[in-house]
Amino acid sequence: MQRIKTLVVDDEPLAREGISTLLQGAGDFQVIGHCANGEEAIEAIETKKPDVVFLDVQMPEIDGFQVLESLDPKRMPTVIFVTAYDQYALRAFDIHAVDYLLKPVDMERFEQALERTRKRLESKQTNGTDKHLKSLLEELKSRDRKLERLVVKTGGKIFFLRTEEIDWIEAAGDYVKIHINTTEHIIRERITELESKLDPSRFLRIHRSTIVNIDRIKEMQPMFYGDYVVILRNGTQLNLSRTYREKISKLMKSSL
């Protein structure tokens, strides 16, 4: 009996162990490795060349979709996605006929995914699988996923900042200053470029040199000539110019 080389990728140790334990009951699947993040997954897929990859969707830094985007489409393994909560992804998987497992993994569903995988490999329908994955990735790209984290180098250290932690952002020429509590981080990027990557339902441009996390706004006070002072929960005061007043009015559904 030919063994099916299988790679398990998940940033949660218990999840990796759980999938591996379930695979022990399937004698034809051989686990050849475990990966805890996207970078490890890319390297393992390229070097170990697994037949099947159980791939976690939600992973920090490099998620499951980005792992596949980095691979050579001609050498794409059969993929079974594993996801916890992404309803958009579940709908997309169904539409594009791609196998997925919902956490916590149901045994019956798990066995169904294995059986479909066996049939696919036996009939060597890898080209069809590649087309399904390609169409899935194209659709996911088209939804314009917004930036969820920033990588910042400060004082010889590398920081991974979740965008939801940001209080406000300040333009400084070709750079921006990221303000989180009392800490500042500097990134070489123009404020307009960064604005285009941020979630507009969370971040708002209130001045040509200022973007604010609206969840951090405590109150706004009127000034002269239609301007406002935006006061954050930590006491920081920022200017809201009348140029941007209409945007914040619509977003907060308030009349200024």
Q: What is the pLDDT of residues 73-89, one digit of tens each?
A: 777 888 998 987 656 56
Residue 254 confidence (pLDDT) above 60: no
pLDDT at 198: 87
Assess whether pLDDT exceeds 60 at residue 64: yes
Query: 163: which 2 tokens?
Result: 């965008």
Give the pLDDT confidence score for residue 128 in this predicted structure.
47
Shared-domain flag, residues 126 and 18 = yes
CB atoms within 10 A of CB 16: 20
pLDDT at 10: 95
| One domain for residues 13 and 80 | yes
35-40: average pLDDT: 94
The verdict on 87 and 196 lying in the same domain is no
Same domain? 57 vs 79: yes
pLDDT of residue 250: 62
Q: Which residue, 84, 115, 142, sits at the end of a domain?
A: 142
> Can you tell me the mean pLDDT for 20-42?
93
What pLDDT score does 126 carry? Answer: 52
Q: Can you give the pTM of this predicted structure? A: 0.54
Assess whether 161 and 95 both reside in one domain: no
Question: For the domain that residue 217 is a member of, what is the CATH number?
Answer: 2.40.50.1020
The CATH code of the domain that includes 18 is 3.40.50.2300
29's tokens: 């699947």
Residue 122 sits in the same domain as residue 216: no
Whether 197 and 128 map to the same domain: the answer is no
Per-residue pLDDT, averaged over 180-206, amounts to 88
Same domain, 116 and 205: no
More confident: 35 or 3: 35
pLDDT at 156 over 90: no
* Helix, strand, or coil (residue 217): strand
Asked if 14 and 110 sit in the same domain, the reply is yes
Q: Is the peptide bond before 104 cis (omega within 30 degrees of 0)?
A: yes
- Note whether 11 and 126 are same-domain residues: yes
Rounded mean pLDDT of 217-232?
A: 86
Mean pLDDT of 31-39: 95
pLDDT(201) > 50? yes
Report whether pLDDT(249) > 70: no
**pLDDT for 73:** 75
**Residue 232 contacts residue 182 (beta carbons within 8 Å):** no
Range of the domain at 163: 149-252
Cβ contacts of 169 within 8 Å, gap of 6 or more: 176, 177, 178, 179, 191, 194, 203, 210, 211, 212
pLDDT mean across residues, the chain: 84
Pairing of strands 183-187, 203-207: unpaired
Number of compact structural domains in the chain: 2
Same domain (yes/no): 24, 128: yes
- Boundary-marking domain end, from 88, 118, 142: 142
- Residue 87 pLDDT: 63
97-132 pLDDT, tens digit each: 578 888 888 899 999 999 988 988 887 655 545 667
Give the residue from 74, 108, 142 where a domain finishes.
Answer: 142
Q: Average pLDDT of 224-233?
A: 85
Q: Are residues 94 and 11 in the same domain?
A: yes
